[in-house]
Structure 1
Amino acid sequence: MYKIMLVDDDYPVIELLSETIKWDELELNLIGTHENGVSAWEQAQEEMPDILITDIGMPKMNGLELITRIREVKPDIRIVILSCHNEFQFAQQAMRLNVQDYLLKDSLNPEDLVQLLRRFKTGLDEVSQAGWEQSRMKYLYSETRELRKEQYIKNFIHQPLLSPQEWKKEASEYGLFADCEFCLPVITYLEDYRRIKYRFLSEQTLNFAVINVINEVLNSLETRVLHVKYNFKTSFLLFTYKPTLKTNIYDEVFLNLEAIQATLLKVLKIRFSFITGHGCATPESLKISLNDMLGCEKQRFYLEPGEITKIQAIAVSGLQQNIFDYYDQASSELREVFLGKNSDKAREVTEKWVSLIQTEMYAPENVKDWMLKLLLDLKLKLHSLQSIKPSYSADSLHKEIVDMDTLSELRLWLSEHLEFVATVNGPGTSKRAEVMEACRYVSLRLNVRISLDEVADHLHLNASYFSRLFKKESGITFIEYVTRLKMERAKELLDQTNYTVGGICELLGYDNQSYFIKTFKTHAGVTPVEYRG
């Protein structure tokens, strides 16, 4: 009998399907029902299903991430998605993951699923073990080729180029420098990596998804392009072309980068920025260009999210004031935010200093050192106040700041950090460490669905006890608190971005747009569209 797994955080759906469908008559073995992707993935590693029926939006690991992981191990698995989502992009992404069907819960008839399962079983009966092995070998070959390509380019960048002609011959395998062609390199940057990696749960899953989507876009372009991963945040696109007077290669590459960028944002909800190098006629010039792009940390630091630009040398004025000259003033303003005397000012203070940094374009390492010193000194000053107990450590702060690649990411992080501290330490808030940690946990995960059980597990507390504790200490229920923070974040996104209401709904982890709009109206008194006005 073929094994089948059912995954959905909507328990009535699990109950309906598990009890209504006569699995034995279909000669199918329902090996497990799960309410989140993590639980399903744990079982799949022990007992891999032949058919997977899964929801998309679930806590801990969503359905698309679960599909990606399982397909890495079992490429020929049959998959059905059950979801409240009816937007095209979700169906489109499901098709890219080779999902066989996509059914909406609102109109689901169990008999339709039964007919689909019968077709699956017939198809599985027709697939021989040899076919499975062939599919598995094809995937392993593709994965090995990506790793070999990555190592090949890294060796080219970082090791001496002893024989350019010999390297050109080897590079022909990847279509580089053939028939007197030139190469225009582009370096790509994954934005907001700190948040994205939590959404995909593993760097491997993220890498797998990005490579698949980029390669799909590249295959549709007229220009020949080689994509090579450098690390989990950075990769290269090597555009091959022949110089002509009729075509401006930079304009053509710009349009192609826009197409890649738009697809990644639409399908995976992730944003990339790009810096283009210079056209290269030889391996020697390509090696120099690639090293130059890896060395342009300062230009990278001041890139806006989604920006596409050319590499440039950033000059520093000899009259530039040292950023540490502003230390005392910034420390005084930030201290007010930490004390909670004027918590609404957190964003204003952040924008003021970020604007100065943007104008003066200080060295990134100096900006990070300045920011780290400010926050650590404030921690020491406030430690003696009983009502102020900053929950961050020097090590955690240092790690978070060092990992940030851009000023825009630092701006968002600092604003959220200050607002969180001001909120937690403001009048009437709890001094209990568990409640403070729960608030921090929520503030860092507003982009996903958050359940009381999940946070209770994180705190190693009984869910009922945590619920009562949170209500007693904060004066509101945990769910009310989560909703309040999400709706305040929705206001910020409506004020500061051009995201659609549907896009904001997804960014905040809501599956149902109608429910999101209703919740927003309850909180703000108007719909999101009316609020944006």
Structure 2
Amino acid sequence: MMKVLIVDDEPIIRKVLKSMIRWEEHGLQWGGEAVDGEEAWEAVQQGGIDLVVTDILMPRMDGLELVKRLKQTGADVAVVVLSCLDDFTYVKEAMKHGAHDYILKPTMEPEQLVHILTEARDGLLLQRKDREQSEQLKRQLMLSKQAQWGQRLQKAWVTGMPDEELEAAWFRDGGEVASYLIHFAPGSQMPLLGWQWPDALAYISLSDQRLLLIYEGPSRSEEIRRFLLHECNIPEACFFITDIAAIRGVEQVKQTLGQHEALRSRYFYSDIDGTMMEPEPFSLPAGSGDTLPLEERQNLLKAIAGRNEEAIHHWARHICHRLYREKPPVDQVYSFLYELLGLAAAFARQQTETAVDTFERKYVSLAAVQSRLRMQELTEWFDEACRELAAMLQSRSEAATRNPFVRKAIEYMRNHYRMPISTSDIAEHVKLSRSYLSDLYGKETGESLIEALTRIRIEEAKRLLAGRERKVYEVAEAVGFIDAKTFAKTFKKMVGCTPTEYEEQNK
């Protein structure tokens, strides 16, 4: 029977759960209780626990931290989360980190508890069965000659001791071998049966996403590609192969790993036809010499915090062009964009709850970033993410407000933005005090009066600049700024570029 551990800081909840069902009748066994995540973690470490039912909000270590730690350490348990109606955000986070299901405390019934626990038990049993089958197959495959040669090759690298038998078998009489490194997108690795490579001398699984093959004879790249496509059913977009020939020693095989990474970078920064990609002519700010666009990242986050759709697009483009120009190592690019998207989602959550969870599931994933094996694909995907984020952050439509005072304020600003009006002028027109109108407007639209007035002015300025009908100082005057310098500074802050740069981009 599977043992169940109950984790809750309220004694009454633990007592109710213990007596709510007849455990043995459902193939379960009471496995004890814990008052917080620390006690639960210690109990799981001691062994014998299969299912964990945990509350979310607890002292010392809470339920969310417990779920994360169990996931990170690969603990062989299934987790069910207890939830109140007002902490559902934490529940979603727990589910994201591997919790099997959740139960609402206020509406919990014995039948529901039994159903969820038996589902978790069955899922855990299936997971254990699959894991055992995989491990058994791995053990069988590791007995193959290819795997044994791969193990010996790695041992020679690690110890620095020569393997005379291997050297003689591969390099006798001036023999040569070639190494092939297969780079996989996350989630697209070969089935285990695909590890039996026809005619390979050896294979080494360097990581979940990199497999090294050693062959002798003529180039096998096309043969390996067909094997992956037709025998392993892996789409061509989910892998690529780098190859290095004319290798004449074990130590030289090891040295080729660095060469494979250089070839990987060339592939990453190449177009579909294999040519190295260069950014189009684009005005980039003077940098500090860093290969990663750190300043541009800060400007993008500021644009998100300010709900500035135009600036979000502008700085997303700058980031992509800077990466193309500097060509930093591939793994650095992946980590940078993954962390940036996580920060972007966090900043967006401060502005709106709308669809942020959906955005995170779709874009804030290292596997999703790494699945784009070319820079071209990655930047197109990143641009798509930023566009979706910008659309999500758009301010509420002015026309949607029903408050007559707010509508009157908007109408006044749109009719008088060319004049040097202030928030006091707007309040006087509406016949409310300035402080009351400011509070009312902010609650209704999500922006302040001065932000709304500035946005209206800049929107009109962009229209005039795009039409190239007037000089910059004339545009500044036409939209109500007292001087061109203040206008240029405000424009760059909101749009992400100077008025002159905006004109050039919209020729």
Provide TM-score, normalisation by structure 1. 0.37
Structure with max Cα Rg = 2
Q: Higher relative contact order by CA 8 Å / sep ≥ 6: 1 or 2? A: 1
